[in-house]
Structure 1
Amino acid sequence: MDTGGRCCGGGGAAAGLEEEAAQREREWEEAAQAVAYDSCTWPPPIVAVCGPGKSGKSAFSRLLLNTLIVRYRNAGYLDIDVGQPEFTPGFVSLHVLEEQTKDLTILYLRNPKRCFFLGYVCAKRNPKLLLTYIFDLYDYFLKEFYRFHEVDNPMKSAIPLVINTSGWIKGPGLHVLPEMLKYVSPTHVIRVSTTVERKNLPCGTFWMNEFDESPPVNLFEIHAAHNSPRHLLVKKEARIIRELRLIAYFRQCLPRDFNVFCLNDLIQGFASIHPFQLRLSKIHVIDLHCQVSSTDAHRFLNGTIVGLSTSASPPLSIESSTPCCIGLGFIKDVEISEDCIHFITPVSHKLVEKVDIIFQSCIAVPSCLLQVSGILSDVTERLLKI
């Protein structure tokens, strides 16, 4: 009898969880519909999705994108979550999407309209640079995609924008968010919250002060996808997701018909790629976070993921000469004596030939890439055991 009672109780709990999940799904769909089909449908909405990490911001952003695409045909996506970027690993990026995402659980790769390389997974190293990236991408969106003088041409008229923010709720991350919101002045802000109040962002329009004269904002509050305290594996899961996105990115270097059934297949595949070669003397190495001196920069490139750029790329802004990024590269080998650098990248050969700028990074390298780089340092061995 006791066992039966416990089973019934377990079944009731499971039913309760299913009902709660269904309620959350309805809440999310209603919020997305309210934003897309607001009584004020012109100009198109500019929406910031905010909340703590692992609360479902990215999933809701994609649901909202799907809804907006039905309404407006196209939708912009400004991804400023450098720790968990949705479509392009390693970047702060601007995308324009024309098709709905059918499965919100699949990791997608997309080519951005414009992107910048930060080289770190959080804001604490250089919050000022991150904000500069965000402001530039937003200004670029306004100039290229938020135009009102061509309303008769659906391919060129204004489109909505969804901004996927990071999950930082304290420290430099919390400094970046209100500064971004002040600059953008979104029409809508979605606040995703959990039941653990100390894990949430402040309530209301926390980024404004009483003297602000910003336009009114529509504030929506929705509950997190998994409305429970964050568990101890969150950071580990975030690292795994970043690694999967990076593997998927460099998987594009392999033939489409190359079958991958296990880790060894990936290692062998990456090892078989004929790397690009560039002369070191023609490469300008930029360290965005001042980790090493410029004279020692080359020796620290081996076995790292870097951002690739060209001096012909448009600069960040009048105040900064940092150019846009064209893709990621993995440095397999650096031969200083032969003035040569060997790296793999899915970027086209035509663009690689123009690369003369490399951005260093602190991004953790997936083990399947490290094992083909020929590095036998203590750091590498430690990373392989994680």
Structure 2
Amino acid sequence: MADSEVLLRRVPSRSSWQRVRKARPHLLLSRRGRRRFGVLTRGELRRLRRRLLRAHALGGDWKLGVTAGSHVAGKCKVRSRSRPTPGSQSAPGSQSAPGSQSAPRSQPAPRSQPAPRCQPAPRSQPAPRSQPAPRSHFQTLPANVTQPVRDLGSGRVLVLLPAGEGFTFSGICRVTCIYGQVEIFGHIIKQGQPAQDVFSAYTHSYLTISGVQYSEPEKSEKEMRREMRALLKPHMKLDDRNWVVQFLPPLGSILLLEQLRTPAVDFMSSYECASYVFLQENTPVRINSEYITLKTIGIRRQRKRKGICLNDSGLCALEELVSASCVDGCPVILLCGACDTGKSTFSRILINQLLNSLPGVDYLECDLGQTEFTPPGCIALLNITEPLLGPPYTHPRRPQRMVYYGKMNCHNDYENYIEIIKYVFRDYKRESPLIINTMGWVKDDGLLLLVDLIRLLSPNYVVQLSTGRGSLMPSLTSDYVELTDGLYTKSKIKRRYRGFEIEELEDSLEFTDEEKDSSPVPVFTGHKLICVHSEFLCGKNEKNRAKYNRIFRDLAVLGYLSQLMPPVPGPQSPLHSLTPYQVPFNAVAVRVTHADVAPAHILYAVNASWVGLCKILDDMKGYTRGPILLAQNPICDCLGFGICRGIDMEKRLYHILTPLPPEELKTVNCLLIGAITVPHCIFKNQPGPEGTIPYITTDYNFKLPGASEKIGERVYGNAFLGYRAYKKGK
């Protein structure tokens, strides 16, 4: 009897694990993996199918692996024990912020209240499987988080940028678009393109990185996640990749911001006059996790109103000019307007937008005081092939043709100014759109001179920028230019001789036979005027404009001298420690362009001055003694610039410090000295010498030619560092 009772206990009618499994909620499958799904019996397959249909009816999508409150994998394994109810979708914005802990899972339903097992699943409720919600695997960010950032270490930060959102910042960094596409200063950076160095400097309006909306590829979410992870793998670890996939917004972009260190930045930051330029704004801010993360690479988020913003007139003008350049050929675009109306900023945005579609853009610099690519005092023609993502002193370029005028303005020397522009303009081949930047002097003679330039250069478009500040200038329409006398040109009706008349533009430009074939003579045939009301932020006014302009000129000179540094960042070498070139007196001619200097004092003016290295047609080989002086200012090609850091009177040599390569220095046979001086901070910041700083004195006679006054000191002959001469005299 006892044996029979034991046998009855060992062979029950139903096994215990089956009873427990059927008592659980119907959304859940057994967590005990008895068999693989491929070897289930027919009854087990029917029961499995019923449970999946019930889960789908209650709001869960078992195929995508997402349910309302629980996750069911593609292989039908249970990820959560919570029992969802119909319509229990989580509200938008309820997900945790990046880096925060996830919300606790819901408690399982009590076993005493199971759902009816035999309840049929209504087939009309489930959504069609062919229309899944886009990017359902991404979590929604809280309302107070716009662009999440993540520190990757080693001076790298990851930024997720939604489409249409902007990230305005101060500082410098290297930007790489890993996924999607963004726009900076009018230039679009797409995934796969090289990294770009971005300079959002303190001296100008801050730059904004904006997410550009792109068409979603015709791929499944699984394929998109696989592609995204493959693009992220070379840059970050697995945890970081999972974070990106989790929080990337729909049609968003993934940016990698790296700490930027270049020889030019290190060189300029080593001087007091430029040390503050690339630093973050030192104002009280709310310190949060984003601030600490961005500080590791030397940048800081700024308010959007501090960035560059174009109004409707500026956007329409850019759209029209880009369309004309890409469709109609190679137009000539002239920018004009008063001082501080945003001509340079508008030209940079226009160049960047043109480079999105064209391989290159030509640029004619006619503004002597605030040049874009060269040191001040130059008229130059350049071909730009790379975007401009910073102020002028961050992107010096090598011109196709350049003439050193030697002054910041052309007052009382208009004829020479026009002749130089004609000389440089001859090199324009009309193979790319040409952008012409003019001076901000638009009153009295400056306006008449601008009329002469429009007739001379014959642009297709004249973009006239204006602001609500200052006096208004007349609209430079085609009829106004035709009916107004310039300084040296006459109107269509009036005939008046003013000392230097250009009777016909065809005769005024003296071309050779070869130049006539390659460059057709420009004839003024009218232009289209585009008026832009500028709303750029500007800290200049009538009181501090001269101070700001002098700082920008010093920064342009420092930017050019930074090319003397080695290409690899490292310890900075002072300028007086670099080896200069030796130039014999009888190899070059000398001319001071901005003043009349007696021949006996010419070497005082040359010593430690900013000199233009030029090439004239005359041959200097016949002269045995020196120095050789020119009687008038020549119009000749300028190959580069340098500093005459000393003069050896015994060996009759100039010591020239310049970044120009030796093969080009062989053709230099003229030194031009203008009103552009070496920045003051270079004189004061001379590491190495102890005691009295070379060439700086407080006792000097200002009546001598070439003398100038510095801030706090008096410097002889614009003198530079001449450390060898100082040691020799000591």
Alignment of 1:1-386 (within 5 A): 24-38=310-324, 41-90=327-376, 91-103=378-390, 107-124=394-411, 126-141=413-428, 145-146=429-430, 158-170=431-443, 172-198=445-471, 200-205=472-477, 206-209=480-483, 212=492, 214-224=524-534, 225-226=536-537, 230-257=541-568, 259=570, 269-294=574-599, 296-311=601-616, 322-371=635-684, 374-377=694-697, 378=700, 382-385=709-712
Residues 181-239 of structure 1: CA deviation (Å, up to 9, x unaligned): 110111001111111241x4322335431654942311111122237983422211111
Partner SS state of residue 459, structure 2: coil
Partner of 1:37, secondary structure, is helix
Letter in 2 for 1:162: I
The answer to whether the Cα contact below 8 Å between 1:36 and 1:45 also exists between their aligned partners in 2 is no
* Higher mean displacement: 345-354 or 173-182: 173-182
Summarize the Cα distance change of 1:30–1:326 in structure 2 as closer, same or farther, 3 Å threshold.
Answer: same
CA positional deviation for 1:355: 2.2
Instruction: String of CA shifts for 1:126-160, please: whole Å, max 9, x gaps.
Output: 2221211111222220xxx21xxxxxxxxxxx211
Q: d(CA) in 2 for partners of 1:104 and 1:290?
A: 31
SS of equivalent to 2:475: coil
Query: C-alpha distance in 2, partners of 1:37/1:349?
Result: 43
- 2:654 partner letter: I
2:398 and 2:547 mapped to 1: Cα distance?
27
CA contact (8 A) 1:367 1:383 kept: yes
Q: Which amino acid aligns with 1:179?
A: D
Higher relative contact order (CA 8 A, sep 6+): 1
State the one-letter code of the partner of 2:545. Answer: V
CA contact (8 A) 2:340 2:538 kept: no
- Cα distance in structure 2, aligned partners of 1:257 and 1:331: 26
Distance 1:201 1:226, change over 3 A: farther
Shift of 1:40: 9.4
Q: CA RMSD in A?
A: 3.0
Secondary structure of the residue aligned to 1:292 is coil
Following superposition, the deviation at residue 357 of structure 1 comes to: 0.5
8 A contact 2:420–2:635 mirrored in 1: no
Shift in CA distance, 39/324, structure 1 to aligned 2, threshold 3 Å: closer
Measure how far apart 1:250 and its partner are. Answer: 1.0
Q: Which structure 2 residue ranges, 5 or more long, are not aligned? A: 1-302, 485-490, 493-522, 619-632, 687-692, 714-730
For residue 695 of structure 2, what is the amino acid of its counterpart? I
Task: Look up the match of 1:155.
Answer: none
Contact 1:333 1:374 in 2 (8 A): no
Larger radius of gyration between Structure 1 and Structure 2: 2
Deviations 1:352-377 (CA, angstroms, capped at 9, x unpaired): 23322101111132124335694235
Assess if the C-alpha contact under 8 Å between 2:308 and 2:537 holds in 1.
no
**Aligned 8 A contact 1:254 1:269 in 2:** no
Give the Å deviation of 1:179. 1.3
Distance in 1 between residues matched to 2:563 and 2:305, nearest whole Å: 41
Partner amino acid for 1:282? A
Q: Give, in whole Å, the separation in 2 of the partners of 1:322 and 1:61.
A: 27
Q: How far 1:259 sits from its partner (Å)?
A: 4.6
Pick closer, same or farther for the CA change 1:21–1:244 going to 2, 3 Å: closer
Q: 1:77 to 1:290 in 2, by over 3 A?
A: same
Give the aligned partner of residue 10 of structure 1: none
Q: Is the 1:127–1:172 contact (alpha carbons within 8 Å) kept by the matching residues of 2?
A: no
* 8 A Cα contact 2:381 2:402, kept in partner: yes
SS at match of 1:59: helix
Q: Which runs of 5+ in 1 are unaligned?
A: 1-16, 147-157, 314-319
Per the alignment, in what secondary structure is the counterpart of residue 616 of structure 2? Answer: coil
Any idea what SS the aligned residue of 2:659 has? coil
Distance 1:184 1:294 in 2: 39
- Normalised to the residue count of structure 1, the TM-score between the two structures is 0.79
| Closer/same/farther in 2, CA of residues 30 and 257 from structure 1, 3 Å limit | same
Residues in 1 aligned to 2:570 and 2:574: alpha-carbon distance in whole angstroms: 9
Higher helix share: 1
- Letter of the aligned partner of 1:286 in structure 2? R
Aligned residues: 343
Amino acid at match of 1:223: H
The C-alpha deviation readout for 1:263-300, integer Å capped at 9, x for no partner, is xx6xx611111111111233211233342144542331
The 2-side partners of 1:97 and 1:19 are apart by 29
Instruction: Give the whole-Å Cα distance in 2 for the aligned partners of 1:169 and 1:279.
Output: 44
Structure 1 residues 384 and 22: alpha-carbon distance in aligned structure 2, compared to 1, 3 A threshold: closer
Specify the code of the residue in structure 2 equivalent to 1:246.
V
Residue by residue over 1:74-110, the C-alpha shift from the partner in whole angstroms, topping out at 9 and shown as x without a partner, is 2100011110100111321111112222446773100
Aligned partners of 2:476 and 2:614: how far apart in 1? 40
State the secondary structure of the residue aligned to 1:116. Answer: strand
Match of 1:325, as an amino acid? C
| Per-residue Cα deviation, 1:232-256 (whole angstroms, up to 9, x for no partner) | 2221111101101101111211223
Q: Secondary structure at the match of 2:426?
A: helix
Per the alignment, residue 3 of structure 1 pairs with: none
Paired residue type of 1:65: I
CA distance in 2 between partners of 1:374 and 1:70 (Å):
50
- The answer on whether the counterparts of 1:123 and 1:173 sit within 8 Å (CA) in structure 2 is no
Name the % identity: 23
CA contact (8 A) 1:135 1:180 kept: no
CA gap 1:201/1:304 in 2 versus in 1, 3 angstroms: farther
Contact 1:61/1:162 (8 A) holds in 2: yes
